[in-house]
Chains A and B, each alone.
Chain A
Amino acid sequence: LAATNGKTGRGAIVALIVEAPYQSLGELREQAKVEIAKVVIGQERAVELLLVAALARGHVLLEGPPGSAKTLLARATAHMLGATFKRIQFTPDTSPAELTGSNAIRMGEKIFLPGAVFTNVLLADEINRTPPRTQAALLEAMQERQVTVDGKAHKLPDPFLVIATQNPYEHRDVFELPESQLDRFLFKIELEYADAQSEYQMLDLPHRGVAPDMLGEVRPLLGVVGLDRARVELDATALPEEVGRYMVALARQTRDLPGVELGVSSRGVMHLASAAKASARLSGRDEVTDEDVREIAPYVLRHRLIVEEGIKQDDILAKAFELVPAPARAFA
């Protein structure tokens, strides 16, 4: 299945390198959906977005009720990427050291015991159940792609993708992420229960929602090398000036609309551009269009809008799209 490359450095990082050549990023999207559908049914959109995030080096916040396959999705995505996976369940007493690691003395030698972040894909379950200091430790690792323990910096593996989940229905012991930290997630995906037909199909899944160890069925498609190649392709995606201006105008429009306390930041626009590029590539194009922007914008921008009470983020976004004229499409 896979050749394990013992790339043991100071952080004891073991990268799983898998040779599963893909023809083009356009095909990759369909293949990914097919692979993941073997274990998770009816969440194609989320699969697509997770793939976009992995390519665009972004992190994802998944919000959904319990039992909507958040964990399984993350695990299957990691497997499909051919990358290592770890999961940390956040609780009110999770300490920052569990995430980042700690120094210890074993048999008279000083060693670094790496924390949960030393992986390619980290599922950070129920991030809103842990106090701010632990949340901050995760967000710092997300941002810097390294952690500092006792003054010494340790680099994280690349790729490093955090999939954080939060449960919107949790009411007790909740530490809401402050708005400034929400801005660091590329996407917020609101997961719904799958539709009735998909839920019916789930009944026939061999894992029966009990022992989801069917990941062997999911074929790894990318591997660390493949992901690198995909990112090179991604960086070469053209962003026409009028589409760039369209994105900037949209963001600036959200800052001026009534009912908005905090509009989309400069970082928000940059994230939108990266996501739109990845989305264009996965659709088999090498140029971003305003269609890509419209398609991906809700996932990138919604969680960054801080609105007054009684106002919906979706309405603000819709209003901005209505007010900003789309660029005239040049027909080749």
Chain B
Amino acid sequence: MMEEKYDDLAGLRDRAKAEVSKVVIGQDRTVELLLIAAVSHGHVLIEGPPGSAKTLLARAVAHMLGASFKRIQFTPDTTPAELNGSNAIRAGEHVFLPGAVFTNVLLADEINRTPPRTQAALFEPMQERQVTVDGKAHKLPDPFLVIATQNPHEHEGVFPLPEGQLDRFLFKITLEYADADSELQMLNLPHNGIAPDMLGEVRPLLGVVGLDKARQELEHTEVPESVGRYIVAVGRRTRELPGVELGVSSRAMIHLVNATKANARLNGRTTATIEDVREMAPYVLRHRIVVSGDTKVDTVLLDAMASVPTAVPPPVAPVP
């Protein structure tokens, strides 16, 4: 591994941004979130229009992590076997031909263009970190990070992900086009948006060993009881607000605490704060809230956070 040594996660954030910005300009926030997802074992759904550097971002982040990368373009006729792999007989020998999931970072492009059965085939490895082909389980490499993309403007042949499956993504990131100045800077990128083979410029920072170390650091991050209670209270509040059909799940709260820890670490702290929760909450919770009528998800989230006092007292009566 040729990765640079890193001293702590705090320094890592700025260096990650500096490295990735050699090929992708104006998407710093997304780089940060992808880094958080990688250290906290989460998967990411990126929603954005075509040509907003989704593929390049995923590839650059994989490179920066010093990890292997694969991409699968989903189409209406993608089969589960392309993802998972299949058994074949080659020269009289039984061999397993691994599918696209056998990698560290998998870019699953346009996940909403493929039918539910193939989508489901992606969720098993995301969840179990292994695939089962012809009754035999095959372990996936670690780390295994799925970056799925969907295109909000596609109209024909779209299979929207059901709520149950959205819940498995740590983050949903809504990617916008970069601002005008960043777009101007892009015109001087050597790859011209055509042949993005400039990844050699991006220095790998972590590597598989480094990532393991980062994850250990993460586990030692302290979450004070008040912060934990705040997360639970905000989560439960989303289930009660008017106009909400489905609030956030228990899994969502666990995801939120992981992201909160990672955010605290990347800010150079060893203790998570309420501020970290507030910063991460939109990316972790927005896609899990199902609303009815004219209710907006963002409003629900803001209401939930506003209506929960930051110092949540422990419940007065013991929970039955």
Query: Do chains A and B interact in one complex?
Result: yes
CB neighbours (8 Å) of A249 from chain B are 180
Within 8 A of B (CB), among A115-132: 131-132
**CB pair A270 B192 closer than 8 Å:** yes
Known: A244-B187, A265-B50, A304-B51. A176 touches B75 (CB 8 A): no
Q: Kindly state the separation between the CA atoms of A109 and B42 in the bound complex, as whole angstroms.
A: 43
CB neighbours (8 Å) of B184 from chain A are 241, 244-245, 248
**CB pair B53 A267 closer than 8 Å:** yes
Asked if A262 is at the interface of the complex by the 8 Å CB criterion, the answer is yes
Q: Kindly state the separation between the CA atoms of A269 and B197 in the bound complex, as whole angstroms.
A: 19
CB neighbours (8 Å) of B178 from chain A are 266
Within 8 A of A (CB), among B53-98: 53, 55, 70-71, 73, 75-78, 90-91, 97-98
Chain A contact patch, size range: 35 or more
Asked if A201 is at the interface of the complex by the 8 Å CB criterion, the answer is no
Bits for B274-317, please: 1 = Cβ < 8 Å to A, else 0.
00000000000000000000000000000000000000000000
Q: Kindly state the separation between the CA atoms of A273 and B91 in the bound complex, as whole angstroms.
A: 51
Within 8 A of A (CB), among B160-200: 177-178, 180, 183-184, 186-190, 192-195, 197
The closest CB in chain A to the CB of B74 belongs to: A136
Asked if A306 is at the interface of the complex by the 8 Å CB criterion, the answer is yes
Q: Kindly state the separation between the CA atoms of A306 and B49 in the bound complex, as whole angstroms.
A: 11
Q: Kindly state the separation between the CA atoms of A251 and B182 in the bound complex, as whole angstroms.
A: 13
Known: A239-B187, A269-B187, A270-B192. A180 touches B110 (CB 8 A): yes
Known: A56-B194, A176-B156, A270-B192. A183 touches B50 (CB 8 A): yes
CB neighbours (8 Å) of A147 from chain B are none
CB neighbours (8 Å) of A145 from chain B are 195, 197
Bits for A285-312, please: 1 = Cβ < 8 Å to B, else 0.
0000000000000000000101000000
Bits for B227-238, please: 1 = Cβ < 8 Å to A, else 0.
000000000000
CB neighbours (8 Å) of B180 from chain A are 245, 248-249, 252
CB neighbours (8 Å) of A273 from chain B are 187, 192
**CB pair A267 B193 closer than 8 Å:** yes
**CB pair A105 B77 closer than 8 Å:** no
Asked if A191 is at the interface of the complex by the 8 Å CB criterion, the answer is no
Bits for A2-31, please: 1 = Cβ < 8 Å to B, else 0.
000000000000000000000000000000
CB neighbours (8 Å) of A86 from chain B are none
Q: Kindly state the separation between the CA atoms of A238 and B282 in the bound complex, as whole angstroms.
A: 42
**CB pair A151 B51 closer than 8 Å:** no
CB distance from B101 to the nearest CB of A (A): 12
Q: Kindly state the separation between the CA atoms of A56 and B90 in the bound complex, as whole angstroms.
A: 42
Asked if B130 is at the interface of the complex by the 8 Å CB criterion, the answer is no
Binding site for B on A (CB under 8 A): 56-58, 105, 131-133, 135-136, 139-140, 143-145, 148, 150-151, 176, 178-181, 183, 186, 235, 239, 241, 244-245, 247-249, 251-252, 255, 261-262, 265-271, 273-274, 304, 306
